Structure 1
């Protein structure tokens, strides 16, 4: 199946290079619970040459094998998920799982992006200035660890205080010597729809990746691309503003075959092409 080369948005064609499309949310979200080998075969069938690696603790024993196998099959890993929870992670201290991820990335010589997001409890009961200060200290710590293994930190919006791009930008601007970016997610963008034009302008200098999703203000959270009311305008806006990064296609559906969900999203793009 060919990945669409363009999106048709209100009778306009905006080019999207097929090399800019990657899969996201396909490791824990897959009713078939594919092995690394089967997951890579699935992506090849779909014509997808890149994916980002999200994980749960159960996947860590197999993570190194998968990253190596992806490289052997000429698949690029654009990012590695990292979840910071205030119950287990603090400034200068990481949970055993997150430490394991850093060790795996060093072991396999992965040199890419680490996508960081936070549980709301990390910033609980803090004023905005206090939250910025704590966020800056934690991201500085993570960036130092990432740089030591030739990786970079990207800030990932996942709701809560840290999920607001304006707060992420404050953290990035407080660390001008660090090479930090933003991963923006349409499936966490419902309350940003009306302000997205202004937000996109602010994010653009730092925007490394955008994960696509259908968008209706009333939800649902996960919706096939092409079934929403706003995603086309938002994609078009990003491209018009000069966004040069990659686009993620979600497999983020509980108890569903990841291949079927990815294919539906690819069709959602294809059906809007000429």
Structure 2
């Protein structure tokens, strides 16, 4: 499916029932010449993490481990940062052993705030640690997104974009196809003007047919890019998974 749509990079999300086929999936990705750019990774080095690392080492993959976690223990900012460092440092060090990177993944709460993630990175003092920022988990950040982008940019490994509407996460519009959100063009301008030139991700993160949702995002992004370039964008795409 990814090869047919034209993707050459892929981030692997999973649940426990998928881990037995991860080795096979990585083999298929290599055969199709699709890079495993990132792997969703637990905030620990338990059994699931070990299974992932076993396959990563077997195939000698230099990938990013995308990690999120709940609010760390602690009564104040310093204590919370220290608690997060204690959890994340062993993962970062294990990642470094196999040439991988650790990316802090915003998923709401204290840990999902870019200022806190940068504080954690500064405290870790490890070269292989950065940030993957996800717009679908950043609905509270739109008003200060340019400033946050500037803060994150030195640490940003990847940026996952999404159709964006202010307060959308509260009205069933958390994840939209690109081109359907009222803030999409503004957000893309902010990204362009920031000078960020790293990987940009799109989502198949719904219960719709994955190929159709990814194609909708590609169509929407193409439409937005024409207007971003000052060209006549033409009619909005006809979406397969959104009305």
> Which bracket does the TM-score occupy, shorter chain normalised?
0.7 to 0.9
The TM-score with structure 1 as length reference comes to 0.77
Asked if the contact 2:74–2:83 (Cα under 8 Å) also holds between the matched residues in 1, the reply is no
Is residue 236 from structure 1 mapped to residue 189 from structure 2 by the alignment?
yes
Which of 68, 73, 87 matches 1:117? Answer: 68
What stretches of structure 1 move > 3 A for 4+ residues in a row?
none
Tell me the CA shift for residue 245 of structure 1: 0.6
Any unmatched runs of 5+ in structure 2?
A: 232-243
**Pair 1:238–1:138, CA change in 2 (3 A):** same
Deviates more, 1:192-201 or 1:42-51: 42-51
Unaligned runs of 5+ in 1: 1-41
Higher helix proportion, which one? 2
* Cα distance change, pair 127–159 in 1 and its aligned pair in 2 (3 A): same
Say whether 1:173 aligns with 2:99.
no
Q: 1 or 2, which has the higher strand percentage?
A: 1
1:138 aligns with 2:101: no
Following the alignment from structure 1 to structure 2, what is the Cα–Cα distance between the partners of residues 115 and 154? 5
**Number of residue pairs matched by the alignment:** 222
Whole-Å separation in 2 of the counterparts to 1:126 and 1:44: 48
- TM-score if structure 2 supplies the norm length? 0.87
Match status 1:103 vs 2:62: no
- Name which structure has the greater RCO, CA cutoff 8 Å, separation 6+: 1
Distance (whole Å) between structure 1 residues aligned to residue 92 and residue 113 of structure 2: 20
> How much is the aligned-residue C-alpha RMSD, in angstroms?
1.5
* CA distance 1:176–1:124, shift in 2 (3 Å): closer
The equivalent residue for 1:268 is 220
